[in-house]
Structure 1
């Protein structure tokens, strides 16, 4: 039986090294340009996303389209951009948002927004807030326990601070998010 030479050892080592470098490069590209990975730290989005859940956001979701009402977004928190938040878009650019008895009204409408995703009846009166152009007003689904646009010093999320649209809960269990 022929013993491996030092030359064949280095050839094999270089092949493994190339493979590792390729895998690391792919992971970096996916993580920095395609997906954003986040862990839910609080109860503000319950029942849609639970505390401790892990989700993926699509970084390319708004390259060819605009955010829409009810999208769940991952964004840089306006009062401290080092923190990432996850909330649902409620108010669109140019709209006036007012919350009366926990119900959300847009532009003085007689009918409140549909909010069947909230786990309990929200309480409180807030606003009115006039959303600037290129910005959004966001709320957590669990409104009675959410630190959201109603309470921030800078209540609006600028479009360029949105990192992605949350599309998939992958732990524990898998669930597509709307």
Structure 2
């Protein structure tokens, strides 16, 4: 009788371990080849993405590189089943200087093009990009004091439009830059919060295609800074219901 019970316990333990193994395998497969969740930790993509946003990134949109795999699989180079990013896409990529840190920015410049900032205005291939003022944008969450910005709708060469914010056209060190020439196989990234973004104008530099992990698709959760860990009711109140499941563009 004891042996039968021991066999049942061992069988139950084995089934549990196999269930856990398959669950981990399925989760890793989904995160590697389909969708991976990311959290927005900084304000560099305001007003499009806010601190406290959680989003899904499609891993299959641009094919797969070594950075598609956990720990940036070192034995894999290049890219397979690759479709190239389009201007205006919001992408997650590995910081080129350490190949570890995840960044999220908007694709502004394509291989072979030039990008330059003059007096806070964007030039692509020496052509000034149109922008239309739409009012003021105030950031009051996740900051010790409210921050006020001018908000614009910017139009890119193919007609794509997106929102950007700026303090002014001359307050930032990146409002006037040299002309950047984008090498083949690289992309020029910028944050929509133009005066508060570490991007290709600064330390990030040009981003190799291999470093791009995927395209930001939609928000699945978002919360403001009013939640307190000791007050479960505040967790619900902090949810930004109007942002849930919004498509990212």
The question of a shared fold, defined as TM-score above 0.5 by the shorter chain, is answered with yes
CA separation of 1:12 and 1:150: change in aligned 2, threshold 3 A: same
Listed as ranges, the gaps of 5+ residues in structure 2 are 64-81, 131-153, 156-160, 170-174, 223-243
- 2:106 aligned partner: 88
CA separation in 2, counterparts of 1:95 and 1:80?
25
Listed as ranges, the gaps of 5+ residues in structure 1 are none
- 1:158 aligned partner: 208
CA separation of 1:122 and 1:164: change in aligned 2, threshold 3 A: farther
Q: Which has the higher contact order (CA 8 A, sep 6+)?
A: 1
CA separation in 2, counterparts of 1:168 and 1:137?
22
Confirm or deny that 1:127 pairs with 2:178.
yes
CA separation of 1:31 and 1:49: change in aligned 2, threshold 3 A: same
Whether the 8 Å contact between 2:105 and 2:189 is mirrored in structure 1 is yes
User: TM-score normalised to the size of structure 2?
Assistant: 0.63
- 2:54 aligned partner: 54
CA separation in 2, counterparts of 1:81 and 1:150?
18
Query: 1:8-58 CA distances to partner (integer Å, 9 max, x unpaired)?
Result: 343333333322211111011122333333221210001111112222211
Structure 1 residues 65-76: aligned runs within 5 Å: 65-76=83-94
CA separation in 2, counterparts of 1:148 and 1:39?
18
CA separation in 2, counterparts of 1:35 and 1:47?
23
CA separation in 1, counterparts of 2:219 and 2:168?
25
CA separation of 1:168 and 1:116: change in aligned 2, threshold 3 A: closer
Confirm or deny that 1:98 pairs with 2:116.
yes
CA separation in 2, counterparts of 1:122 and 1:89?
22
Q: CA deviation at 1:111?
A: 4.4
Tell me which of 142, 147, 170 is aligned to 2:220.
170
Moved over 4 A (4+): none
CA separation in 2, counterparts of 1:10 and 1:110?
70
Whether the 8 Å contact between 1:59 and 1:164 is mirrored in structure 2 is yes
> Any idea what SS the aligned residue of 1:105 has?
strand
CA separation in 1, counterparts of 2:125 and 2:167?
22
- 1:117 aligned partner: 163
CA separation in 2, counterparts of 1:53 and 1:160?
26
User: TM-score normalised to the size of structure 1?
Assistant: 0.86
- 1:27 aligned partner: 27
Query: Please, which moves more after superposition, 12-21 or 90-99?
Result: 12-21
